[in-house]
Amino acid sequence: MYSMITFDHIHLAFDGRKILNDLSFEVKRGEKVVVLAKSGSGKSSLFSLILGFLEPDEGRVFFDGWLVDEKSVWEIRKKIAYIDQDISLGNGKIPDLLDFVLKLKTNIHLDGSRKQLQELLQYFELDKEIIKKDIEDLSGGERQRLAIIIAVLLQRDVFLLDEVTSALDKQLKKKVADFFIAREDWTCLVISHDPVWLENPAVKIFKLEEGKWKP
């Protein structure tokens, strides 16, 4: 199977503290991989390295065969849907946010996907009226679901999901996990402690400890 994300002997340190220590792994196309680690162990920096928000001190990261560097990263970002654990959607009205996202040059062809929005709202059990609200009036769970919906609307097939179900109830957590796991062509790298991910037999689990994989 084709390798979608490859970490090749990555070293990363912050303020002299080693975060990733000669880390190598790959995520193949269509795989669902969950990274399990304690907080502060550098798991979010895995995503930052793929998206070019951080540069490794040593080693290389590849995405879909491309070396992540200052040139390729702009194209790579267009192929990934990323949801951050704090989901920083900013303030303002939800329609303005959707407008902003869907009118970015790279997404402009997706304008038709607004129809899909209604289906997604329904699937993730959000009221239709919610999109008239201000972002700051949303609960944590509503924000998480909105971020997931935006990520899905982008019609990308690689998902970086950082604790995206933490604020949801058990039934919704499962619904979200099942939604991503069911799509065979989607590659998902997930950071989560949630059993809904970890107990799913289709998911591969990587355990990160002291900057290395633990069996």
Partner 1 sequence: METVDLSLVSLLLTFLLLALPVILSLKFGFGLIRSLFYSVARMTIQLILIGIFLKYLFLWNNAWINLLWLLVMITVAVFSAVRSSAIKIGKVFIPGFLSFTIATFVVIFYLNIVVIPLDNIFDARYLIVLGGMLLGNSLRGNIVGISTFYKNIRKDAKKYLYVLSLGASQSEALLPYLRESVQLALKPTLAAMATMGIVALPGMMTGVILGGASPEVAIKYQIMIMIAIVVSTITSVVLTILLTLRVCFNRYGVLRREVFVELKNKSNGS
Helix (H, G, I), strand (E, B) or coil at 203: strand
Of 69 and 119, which has the nearer Cβ to partner 1?
69
Q: Is residue 98 within 8 Å of residue 147, measured between CB atoms?
A: no
Residue 166's Cβ-count burial label (10 Å; 0-12, 13-18, 19+) is middle
Q: Work out how close the CB of 62 gets to partner 1 at its nearest, in angstroms, rounded to a whole number.
A: 16
Of 88 and 171, which has the nearer Cβ to partner 1?
88
Of 92 and 182, which has the nearer Cβ to partner 1?
92
Of 104 and 182, which has the nearer Cβ to partner 1?
104
Of 3 and 45, which has the nearer Cβ to partner 1?
45
Residue 174 makes CB contacts below 8 A (sequence gap 6+) with 196
Q: Is residue 21 within 8 Å of residue 212, measured between CB atoms?
A: yes
Q: Is residue 141 within 8 Å of residue 169, measured between CB atoms?
A: yes
Q: Work out how close the CB of 205 gets to partner 1 at its nearest, in angstroms, rounded to a whole number.
A: 20
Of 78 and 214, which has the nearer Cβ to partner 1?
78
Q: Work out how close the CB of 15 gets to partner 1 at its nearest, in angstroms, rounded to a whole number.
A: 6
Q: Work out how close the CB of 199 gets to partner 1 at its nearest, in angstroms, rounded to a whole number.
A: 25
Q: Work out how close the CB of 146 gets to partner 1 at its nearest, in angstroms, rounded to a whole number.
A: 12
- Report how far apart, in Å, the C-alpha atoms of 152 and of each of 112, 114, 186, 213 are: 13, 11, 11, 30
Q: Work out how close the CB of 17 gets to partner 1 at its nearest, in angstroms, rounded to a whole number.
A: 9
Helix (H, G, I), strand (E, B) or coil at 98: helix
Nearest to 154 by CA among 87, 106, 189: 106
Q: Binding residues for partner 1, per CB under 8 A?
A: 14-15, 19, 39-40, 42-45, 48, 51-55, 70, 73-74, 77-80, 82, 84, 86, 88-90, 100-101, 104-107, 154
Count CB-CB contacts under 10 A for residue 54: 19
What is the chain's alpha carbon radius of gyration, rounded to the nearest angstrom? 17
